[in-house]
Amino acid sequence: MEASTNDRSSSFKDAELELYTIPAHSSWFVWEDIHEIERREFAEFFSESSITRTPKVYKEYRDFIINKYREDDSSRRLTFTSIRKHLVGDVNLLRKVFLFLENWGLINFLNKSDDGSMEESEAEIELGTPAGIRVTATPVSMRPVTVPPLVEERAEPAFKFSPLTSYSDVFTDLNKPLLCGHCGESSCDSAFYQHTKSLVTLCDKCGDCGENNSAHDFKLIAAAAWTEEETLLLLESVLKHGDDWELITQSVSTKSRLDCISKLIELPFGEFLMGSSSGRLRSSIPTSEDENLSSPSNPLEQMKADGLEQKETETREEKGDDHVVDEDEPPAKRKRVAMLSDGGDSSLMKQVAAMACKVGPSVTTAAAKAAIAALCDEASCPKDTFETTCDFTDFAVDRADGDKGTSDMEEQQEDKEGPQDLPVALRMRASVATALGAAAAHAKILADQEEREMEQLAAIIIDQQLKKMKSKLKFLDHLELIMDAEEQVMEGVKETILQERISVLQFAFGSGITKRWDHT
């Protein structure tokens, strides 16, 4: 082995550095010997406690692996599996040797694997349950359940039940333009029919033109566009059936399962309709569905519309607009927080508070600021409102917090004042503005508190680390002292041994024996 490497090295003298590159920190490695580092790492080989682990065995493993790597044209990565078939011995041990050599760069130095990509690969969503677990349909047999003998058979895939939705399910095969087989148009909006036996597709207008085709043979392919009724149906059925796509497809009869799922995802709040259990948003959806469909940019606000007055919805629409505008996020897919609008609790302030809790404080402050600005701009003289009817606005503010909502406020306002100089809406808006301002102030205070806490915690952590370092240093000092003491002792021992030797020699000389003892 050594001779061959010498030959190779002499012939590739210049190229050797490139061929057999190993990192500088591995320069301790020599062919002929086993280095201290290796001895330490693989103590079990050198402890002479087993017949399968001897230094010779270790050296053979090591040399074989490195040679194999180098002979196979070092540009290719050597895998453990390709090497383990060549060597006799416990595979775990072999793997340990292999990893050791790889970590020290003695093999695979030039072609590192990209382990990073393996671990970062996204979890793939699979259609259906993992195939290893299958529920099969077998004839009914009431055999007692016994632990089956440990046989190396794998589970068998059989009956598949309703699969879970997956990404590929929804997003492939979408938007394929349907060509009518007869008139060749793909752009007409009418529904398409597909023949059950052949793959002919015909549009609605040409439906009667097929020869020998009766109406029964054609199946309606859903059009790509979703009408409002269909969307309504879809939402209702989602709420009713939750996760069961088959039932939903049946109720929305004109759309296939994939279409339903994709449409639901596309709807701004669709995702957490799917995710949430079916009962949660039931109460808030039905009344405002039409508004939802027409103005999809304000769904968040619309969803709180349960039982509130028209004017309040206006207010919130504006606020919603500002909310939308000022958030500076791409409008494509904003995160929607699920609103917990429980039963009758529909007061504006409580919902604003709930919203503020879920969103971060900075977002809330921005939204509040924007909302107040919008409201103030609109109301020409909110101050007037406040001054002239200050007790009124206090009253209004109190009322706004109450559970009865603004309908009562409206009534009472109308009762108290006959002619109104300022519309009620303005008053409401002003009070809303003050409430929002208070909320914004609170949010800012909270944010400051959080920051301070964070700084404190960071300081604590740094302190702890310093303490740790100090104690480690102390420990090392202690060790040093001990070592010094040991050194002293060793010196003493050395001295005594020296003395002994001298005395022995003296004795030997004294009795006439020459120093050298060369026995032949």
Partner 1 sequence: MKVSGSTNWKGPVKFRMPTAENLVPIRLDIQFEGQRYKDAFTWNPSDADNEIAIFARRTVKDLKLPPAFFTQISQSIQSQLADFRAYEGQDMYTGEKIIPIKLDLRVNHTLIKDQFLWDLNNFESDPEEFARTLCKDLGVEDPEVGPAVAFAIREQLYEIAVQSVSSARESRLSKKSRRGSDYGSASKASGLSMDLVKLFSFKSSVVRKRKDLDVYEPMVDLLTNEEVDALEAREERHAR
Distance CA 508, CA 501 (A): 10
Q: In terms of CB distance, is 52 or 496 closer to partner 1? A: 52
- The least distance separating partner 1 from the CB of residue 85, rounded to whole angstroms, comes to 4
Identify residue 419 by its one-letter amino acid code. Answer: P
Measured distance CA(184)–CA(206) in Å, rounded: 10
Of the pair 129, 166, the CB lying nearest partner 1 is at 129
The CA distances from residue 325 to 31, 322, 371, 520, in Å, are 71, 5, 11, 105
- The nearest distance, CB 7 to partner 1, in angstroms, is 21
* Separation of alpha carbons 480 and 152, rounded Å: 58
The least CB distance from residue 157 to partner 1, in Å, is 7
Q: What minimum distance in Å lies between the beta carbon of 146 and partner 1?
A: 9
Min dist CB 89 to partner 1, Å, is: 6
Q: Which residues bind partner 1 (CB under 8 A)?
A: 40-41, 43-44, 47, 49-54, 56-57, 60-61, 64, 79-82, 84-93, 95, 118, 124, 129-141, 143, 145, 147-148, 150, 152-159, 161-162
Shortest distance, position 149 Cβ to partner 1, whole Å? 9
HSE of 1, CA atoms in CB hemisphere, 13 A:
14
Query: Cα 336 to chain center, whole Å?
Result: 18
Beta carbon nearer to partner 1, 54 or 434: 54
Name the minimum Å distance from CB 36 to partner 1: 12
Cα→Cα distances 484→190, 252, 476, 479, 496, Å: 95, 87, 12, 9, 19
- Closest to partner 1 by CB, 148 vs 343, is 148
Structure tokens at 377: 């701009």
Q: Strand 218-221: give its sheet, edge to edge.
A: 201-203, 192-195, 218-221
- Spell out the long-range contacts of 272-276 with Cβ–Cβ below 8 A and sequence spacing 24 or more: 272/336, 272/338, 273/235, 273/238, 273/239, 274/165, 274/238, 274/243, 276/338
Rounded CA separation 150/135 (Å):
20
Report in angstroms how near the CB of residue 303 gets to partner 1 at its nearest.
29
401, 404, 407, 412: CA torsion to nearest 10: -80
CA angle 92, 95, 98 (to 5 degrees): 160
Of 26 and 54, which has the nearer Cβ to partner 1?
A: 54
**Least distance from partner 1 to the Cβ atom of residue 334, Å:** 31
